[in-house]
Amino acid sequence: QEGELNVVKFTGNSYFSSSALQDAVSSLPSDLSFAHRIFRFYYRQLTINPYTPQPLEDALGVAVKNYEEEYRYFDQAGAENDVLTLTDVYNQFGFHDATVSYSYDFDTTDKVNVLTFSINENKQYTIDTVLYTGLESLPIDLLREIQALLPDVRGNFFNEPALKSTADAISNFLHNNGY
């Protein structure tokens, strides 16, 4: 299927807002500027009228053509990649059983092409244990300081960015102490 992509929707999402998910995907709807919509409207109206002077019709046609970069088109490979991206985003926040699919359809009511990402978030997993290995050979005073950097995450929802932040803090501490 091909065609201009007018609307991108997300269904089944409650943890992330639709705008947050839109920021994560590459599929974007056409975003026509006000000037583009005005030129397009008058161009369409004037091409219907057989008495429209040809130079005026040509000038409006050129004006509309100058805005072509504002159009976005459906890309199946891009949508499939966006499914993988959304699945990964959900995995990073503990939704390890999340499923994502897409459909691309023509909405006959609004007369627009709609790309819909359907999300089933399923269960959000919690953390039972986090093990930091390789630190046992450090001096005891450094181990105590590192222990102060470690938040108690037992029972918290899995959050990969937060875990990475803690690991980065440990790494920075070790680098700053000659390791």
- Residue 172 sits at φ, ψ, to 5 deg, of -65, -45
Instruction: Identify the sign of the CA torsion 71, 76, 77, 79.
Output: positive
pLDDT digits (tens, 9 = 90+) for 17-67: 999 999 999 999 988 888 888 888 888 898 898 888 899 888 888 888 888
Residue 54 per-residue DSSP state: H
Average pLDDT over residues 135-161: 91
Residues in the chain: 179
What's residue 2's pLDDT? 65
> Does position 1 have pLDDT exceeding 50, yes or no?
no
CA distance 98 to 12: 11
pLDDT digits (tens, 9 = 90+) for 114-130: 999 999 999 999 999 99
pLDDT digits (tens, 9 = 90+) for 75-88: 999 999 999 999 99
Whole-structure pTM over 0.85, yes or no? no
**C-alpha Rg value of the chain to the nearest Å:** 26
What's residue 36's pLDDT? 84
- DSSP alpha helix (H) spans, the chain: 18-24, 34-48, 54-65, 76-92, 140-149, 160-176
Which of these, 1, 4, 2, lies nearest to 67 by C-alpha position? 4
